[in-house]
Structure formats: C-alpha cells, structure tokens
Amino acid sequence: MSSYHPQPIKTSHVKLTASQKTLVEALAENVHDVWAKKRQEDGWTYGPTRNDDVKQHPCLVPFDALPESEKVYDRIMVEEVIRAAVALGYRIDKR
C-alpha cells in the first residue's frame, strides 16, 4: 500500500471571472495540442482505439473533435491550475 496522500491546494473558495473562464477553454485546447504534438514526436498516430504496441491513440485529433469527456478532463486540469494560482495570491487578468 502506498503512503502517498495527495493534498492539492484548497481552491473551492476561488470563483473564476468570465475572463478566466474564457482562458480555461483556450488553455485546455492548448494543453491538448501540446500533448498531441509530443505524442506525434514520439511516433504515435491516430487510431480508432488506443494501442500502445503500435502507438495509436484515438485522441490524436483536434480539440473540437475530442469526445466531451476528454475535453472536460483538460478543462478541469487547467481550471485547477488557475484556481491554485489565484488561491496562492496571484492575479490572472486579461490586459
């Protein structure tokens, strides 16, 4: 059994502004593109199902073509980073 107990920064009190919510969507798409670019550089290609042996992955498509569950995952990760930054006292505003 692992003794690791994740303790993410408490962010439930952080409310995102409309501008920050727009940023979440843009960054979620960028996160996907960074992930996809790295996969492609590592020799992965699109395949209808994930197959590690031949390096195929069904998510090697543009963000708009991803299943909603994958988009939600990317959005949650980005949103939590923004919320954590704000909880730590940083300001994230569009200028």
Sequence-distant (≥ 6) Cβ neighbours of residue 73 within 8 angstroms: none
Q: Is pLDDT of 1 > 80?
A: no
pLDDT at 95: 82
pLDDT at 2: 86
Indicate the pTM of the whole model.
Answer: 0.89
CATH of domain 18-87: 1.10.490.160
HSE, CB side, 13 Å, CA atoms: give it for residue 35. 17
